[in-house]
């Protein structure tokens, strides 16, 4: 009888949850309504902004607002309350969350070489929204939670603590399927062509993406970490763009190279040292006036809300973030609640003269969740009261690996000190500077004339979307490095 009731409930639930996809016209199963999509976007947007920060450039922000709203009106869901924002991150990335929130990093804006490349990626991200890809992934998460309630054993991941410390940004990094990405590529071509852009440039940008990945030693950079191979996409998008242009049968399509390059002249490139930077194995934060050593050989990632460090094997995570609270005791209570910790021990101490509190914790687990002692996650936390603010170091690893990584945790925490070196405090960011070349020469020669060091020539060739051997004609605009 219970089985029959459950089956009836599921059929009823499925009936209520079917909707017609505005892009394909087909009926699909979805647990997230449009009003819920919009609410999700409004909920996540403040977290996105807090985690990455907004890039302060009124002209650039006006540009993406105008272009974004214009293209959104041509999409399959023009009625959504779209918002377009530039995040202050050097990572080459763009993404969208449900309800019409679309984000570009300053990193990707610096790598576009014309307005048409931007428009292609803009159309791609709007496509994720119109085809409800994020909402579909959220549906999968909801169904996964149903499975969890039913007693499915899920092994804890270290990364979940980083997400908890950032107020749960997991939605931003949902992995779209290859079908979703292909559909968004198609929509990117369709929308950008309808808006009057040359979508062939969208294909060209995939070549840039591929080269970024090759240069960094990764198979693909962040923007394509869950996407199809950039080389395959170049061929496919190129073909789709040509077909789309034949269908619209319109005159000259917009590329706008010079106008776009002039607009991004002066954009911050790479890490902004004012928000913290890594140099010679240490992390420095000029505005907050502290520094500490990074464990030797560990990778690191910086954001406005959190600095993360991890070894290459991924079996440990050390992060620094702000703790909520005016006192160490209050910060401890808030940390335990926020990260859902079970405290094993805690004690007062000092770190280079600053009041501190150390605690060792484990994850609070459900009674139905079975977990071996060796695989239990141990969290070593140190809260430090520094210049009226409380910072929290959290070192995470498995019980069986604690003896391996705990010395690295302690070494980093104990290196936390006041930053007073004027050279470190006054470090300025690099910026993209756009120059008109006075003579015809190879890109390599042009870059060298503007002082680009030899070990960064290939990097700047990628930023320009060219090869070092390409001939650059007199009067052409190129990107170089400056302050």
Q: Are residues 25 and 141 in the same domain?
A: yes
Q: Are residues 218 and 320 in the same domain?
A: no
Q: Are residues 346 and 284 in the same domain?
A: yes
pLDDT higher than 90, residue 174:
no
Q: Are residues 192 and 131 in the same domain?
A: yes
Q: Are residues 108 and 166 in the same domain?
A: yes
pLDDT higher than 90, residue 260:
yes
In a domain, 362, yes or no: yes
In a domain, 6, yes or no: no
Split at pLDDT 50, 70, 90, the class of 246 is confident
Q: Are residues 351 and 474 in the same domain?
A: no
Residue whose entry in the numeric block shows the structure tokens 């006075």: 438
Q: Are residues 229 and 314 in the same domain?
A: no
Tens of pLDDT, residue by residue over 446-455, are: 999 999 999 9
In a domain, 3, yes or no: no
Split at pLDDT 50, 70, 90, the class of 146 is very low
Residues in the chain: 483
Boundary (domain end) residue, out of 241, 264, 287: 264
In a domain, 453, yes or no: yes
What is the pLDDT at residue 28?
A: 52
In a domain, 5, yes or no: no
Tens of pLDDT, residue by residue over 294-352, are: 999 998 888 878 888 888 888 888 999 999 999 999 999 999 998 889 999 999 999 99
Q: Are residues 63 and 28 in the same domain?
A: yes
Boundary (domain end) residue, out of 405, 425, 445: 425
Split at pLDDT 50, 70, 90, the class of 366 is low
* Listed range (61-70, 130-139, 343-352) with the worst mean pLDDT: 130-139
Kindly report the CATH number assigned to the domain that includes residue 339.
3.40.1000.10
pLDDT higher than 50, residue 175:
no
Tens of pLDDT, residue by residue over 10-58, are: 344 444 444 555 555 555 544 567 788 888 888 888 888 887 889 999 9
Pick from 193, 270, 205, 195: nearest CA to 234: 205
In a domain, 371, yes or no: yes
In a domain, 161, yes or no: yes
Query: Alpha-carbon distance 265 to 186, whole Å?
Result: 31
In a domain, 155, yes or no: yes
Indicate the DSSP class of residue 354. E
pLDDT higher than 60, residue 377:
yes
Round the average pLDDT of the chain to a whole number and report it.
Answer: 83
For the chain, helix, strand, coil in percent to 5 are 45, 25, 30
Q: Are residues 420 and 434 in the same domain?
A: no
Q: Are residues 220 and 324 in the same domain?
A: no
Boundary (domain end) residue, out of 404, 425, 446: 425
| 3-state secondary structure string across 327-353 | CHHHHHHHHHHHCCEEEEEEEEEEECC
Q: Are residues 344 and 467 in the same domain?
A: no
Residue whose entry in the numeric block shows the structure tokens 């609270």: 325
pLDDT higher than 60, residue 419:
yes
The residue range of the domain holding 455 is 429-482
Q: Are residues 90 and 190 in the same domain?
A: yes
Tens of pLDDT, residue by residue over 161-171, are: 555 554 433 33
Strands 277-279, 417-418: pairing kind: unpaired
Six token digits for residue 127: 């496509």
Number of domains in the chain: 3
């Amino acid at each position: 009888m219970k089985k029959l009731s459950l089956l009836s409930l599921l059929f009823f639930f499925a009936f209520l949850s079917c909707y017609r996809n505005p892009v394909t016209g087909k009926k699909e199963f979805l647990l997230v309504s449009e009003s819920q999509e919009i609410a999700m976007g409004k909920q996540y947007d403040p977290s996105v902004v807090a985690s990455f920060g907004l890039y302060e450039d009124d002209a650039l922000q006006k540009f993406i607002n105008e272009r974004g709203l214009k293209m959104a009106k041509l999409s399959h869901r023009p009625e959504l309350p779209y918002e377009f924002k530039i995040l202050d991150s050097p990572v080459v990335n763009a993404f969208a969350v449900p309800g019409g929130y679309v984000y570009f990093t300053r990193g990707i804006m610096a790598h576009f070489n014309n307005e048409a490349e931007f428009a292609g990626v803009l159309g791609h991200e709007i496509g994720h929204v119109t085809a409800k890809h994020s909402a579909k992934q959220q549906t999968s998460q909801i169904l996964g939670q149903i499975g969890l309630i039913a007693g499915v054993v899920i092994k804890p991941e270290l990364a979940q603590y980083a997400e908890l410390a950032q107020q749960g940004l997991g939605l931003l990094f949902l992995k779209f399927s290859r079908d979703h990405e292909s559909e968004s590529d198609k929509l990117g071509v369709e929308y950008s062509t309808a808006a009057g852009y040359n979508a062939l440039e969208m294909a060209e940008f995939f070549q840039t993406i591929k080269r970024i990945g090759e240069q960094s030693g990764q198979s693909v950079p962040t923007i394509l970490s869950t996407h199809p191979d950039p080389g395959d996409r170049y061929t496919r998008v190129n073909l789709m763009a040509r077909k789309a242009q034949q269908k619209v049968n319109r005159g000259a399509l917009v590329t706008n190279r010079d106008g776009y390059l002039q607009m991004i002249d002066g954009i911050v490139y790479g890490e902004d040292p004012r928000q913290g930077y890594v140099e010679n194995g240490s992390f420095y934060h000029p505005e907050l006036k502290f520094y500490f050593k990074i464990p030797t050989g560990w990778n690191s990632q910086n954001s406005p809300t959190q600095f993360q460090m991890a070894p290459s094997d991924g079996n440990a995570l050390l992060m620094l973030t702000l703790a909520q609270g005016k006192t160490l005791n209050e910060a401890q209570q808030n940390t335990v609640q926020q990260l859902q910790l079970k405290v094993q021990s805690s004690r007062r101490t000092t770190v280079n003269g600053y009041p501190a509190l150390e605690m060792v914790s484990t994850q609070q687990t459900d009674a139905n969740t079975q977990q071996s002692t060796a695989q239990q996650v141990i969290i070593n936390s140190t809260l430090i009261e520094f210049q009226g603010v409380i910072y929290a170091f959290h070192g995470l690893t498995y019980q069986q690996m604690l003896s391996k990584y705990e010395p690295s945790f302690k070494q980093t925490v104990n290196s936390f000190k006041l930053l007073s070196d004027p050279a470190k405090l006054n470090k300025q960011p690099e910026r993209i500077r756009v120059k008109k070349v006075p003579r015809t020469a190879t890109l390599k020669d042009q870059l060298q004339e503007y002082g680009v060091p030899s070990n960064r020539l290939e990097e700047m060739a990628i930023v320009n979307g060219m090869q070092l051997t390409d001939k650059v004609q007199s009067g052409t605009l190129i990107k170089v490095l400056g302050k």
